[in-house]
Amino acid sequence: MSSDVIIGHDGKPRCGWAGAGDSTFGRYHDEVWGTRTYDESAMFEALTLGVFEVGLSWSVVFGKRVAFRKAFHGFDVGRVAAMTERDVDRLVQDASIIRNRSKIQATVDNARAMISASPSLVALAKSYEITRKRPPRSVADLPKSTPQAEAFAKQLKSQGTASLGLRVCTRSCRTSAWSTITFMGASARPTTAPRAAAAEDRNEMT
C-alpha cells in the first residue's frame, strides 16, 4: 500500500489527504474525489473553486464551498450567466465567500461564455477526459500537467473564458470531473452518474 494511503476510522483505505477521522474531507473523498461526472454544474464548480483557490490554500476554499454554492445558485451556468453588476457588488460584501471582485466577475463572465459556447463544457470535458490504466502510487507520481489539460485550457480560452489557465484546468482534470484518481490501494467509486457538486483538489495534492 502506498505511503500516501491511510486506513480511515471505518477501516477503509483512503488517500492520505482525506485524514483518518470522520470529517468533511473524508466524505468528500468518498463521495466526490475519484468519481467521474458529466454534470455541468459540478464541472463549473470545480473550475470556479480552482479560480478562487489561486493565491490561497484549498482548505480555505473548501471551507466556503457551501456558501459558494448558495452565492452562485448551485453553479447553474444559466443562472450565473444572468447575474448582474448589482449581484457582483452584493457578493463583494458577502463575508461567507472569498470577496475578490475580479474572481467573482470572472465567474459570471465565464458562465456567459459557456452558455453559448460550442462545444459545451460537458462535451469539451468528455473529449479531454482521462482514464488511467492504473492509479498513481503516490503524490509524486501525479504530473504537473498533461496534454489533455493543456488542450482543454486552450480551448476554454478560445471560447472567451477568463482566469481558467493551465494550473486551474490541470487541477480540474485531476479530480472527479474529468478523471478518476485515487492512490494505489485507496478506495474509490468511479461512476458516470451525475452528482450535485464537485470541488477542486487540495494544495497538498500537487
| Average pLDDT estimate for 158-176 | 76
Q: What percent of the chain has pLDDT over 90?
A: 34
Q: How far lies 62's CA from each of 15, 25, 57, in Å? A: 17, 9, 9
Extents of the domains making up the chain: 5-201
Domain 5-201 class, CATH top level: mainly alpha
Percent of the chain with pLDDT over 70: 74
**Residue 162 banded pLDDT, cuts 50, 70, 90:** confident
User: Who wins on pLDDT, 71 or 150?
Assistant: 71
- Cα end-to-end distance, the chain, whole Å: 20
Q: How far apart are CA 97 and CA 52, in angstroms?
A: 10
Residue 15: per-residue pLDDT? 79
DSSP state of 72: T
The arithmetic mean of pLDDT across residues 72-89, rounded, is 98
Name the amino acid, one letter, at 36: R
pTM of the model: 0.77
